[in-house]
Amino acid sequence: MQFKDVAKILKGIPYISTLDGKFIYNFVRRSAVQNVLELGFAHGTSTCYLAAALDEIGSGSIITIDNQHAKKREPNIITLLNTTKLNDYVKPIFADTSYTWELMKIIEQQTIQGKCKPIFDFCFIDGAHTWEVDGLAFFLVEKLLKPGGWILFDDLYWTFAKSPTLKNTKWVQNMPKDQKTIPQIEKVFTLLVNQHRNFENIKIFKEWGWAQKKTTIDKPVSRSKKIIKKMYIRQLFKSNITIVLKKIKNFIQS
């Protein structure tokens, strides 16, 4: 499914912007990712971008996990998958507690003779936003991520204290101040991912943190790393052009 078509359907639905949607769409399509794990799907917008890219490739699958509350969202992931007709690529899981429990089940299924066989090429984490849940999730995902696979964390600098929907809830109000004000995903990324011996090609761009699981054999720079670099260069170039044109316009009008 071409990006313009899925973007038209998803326009205005939170929580991923069209620009970010295009980025993960292009990454999956150009790096030939096949098996995707997504932790936290909310309405299912990012899921549809990922699935549309797989549809363009012509193969692949997504396991995406969120809690039961996601069923109540308007629209929810089931509605969006029906609308985009991308159901065949996606297996949504509505967890009773946390996606860490569901990851335990997948690890158990993949464990043969005491060893976990990795199955995912790419994991996108945009869920709990807490040190406890996503810190554990990272170590669980590491077991399931193939050598050479990528993990992407969204909302590195998000905090509970600045969340429009959560900051005034009783749950957040009762949090210790540091847990409310410290970006917990940034801590997961810098203290766990960045220091993990099995990961390399660490990259932070705006709110996103990328890391690639090392391969067992030294190889030239991976195709997917080159793709990420090129996409960011294009995005920066377009942003700079926009700024320059705006300055010229303001100068002419002054």
Please give the mean pLDDT across all residues of the chain: 92
pLDDT at 249 over 90: no
Q: Where are the domains of the chain?
A: 3-217, 220-254
pLDDT at 231 over 80: no
Average pLDDT over residues 104-110: 98
- Per-residue pLDDT, 228: 72
- Which residue reads 């030939």 in tokens? 32
- Per-residue pLDDT, 226: 72
Each residue's pLDDT tens digit, 145-194 = 999 999 999 999 999 999 999 999 999 999 999 999 999 999 999 999 99
Query: Where residue 78 falls among pLDDT bands split at 50, 70, 90?
Result: very high
Any bridge partners for residue 212, and if so which? 150, 200
pLDDT at 219 over 60: no
Average pLDDT over residues 1-10: 97
pLDDT at 96 over 70: yes
Query: Where residue 216 falls among pLDDT bands split at 50, 70, 90?
Result: confident
pLDDT at 4 over 80: yes
Each residue's pLDDT tens digit, 42-75 = 999 999 999 999 999 999 999 999 999 999 999 9
pLDDT at 254 over 80: no
Q: What are phi and psi of 114, to 5 degrees?
A: 80, 5
State the burial class of residue 45 (Cβ atoms within 10 Å of its Cβ: 0-12, 13-18, 19+).
Answer: buried
pLDDT at 248 over 60: yes
Distance from C-alpha of 210 to C-alpha of 178, rounded to nearest angstrom = 25
Query: Where residue 229 falls among pLDDT bands split at 50, 70, 90?
Result: confident
- Per-residue pLDDT, 237: 66
- Per-residue pLDDT, 242: 63
pLDDT at 208 over 90: yes
> Kind of pairing, strands 111-112 and 90-95?
unpaired
pLDDT at 3 over 60: yes
pLDDT at 245 over 80: no
Average pLDDT over residues 28-51: 96
Domain 3-217 in this protein, CATH class = alpha beta
Query: Where residue 32 falls among pLDDT bands split at 50, 70, 90?
Result: confident
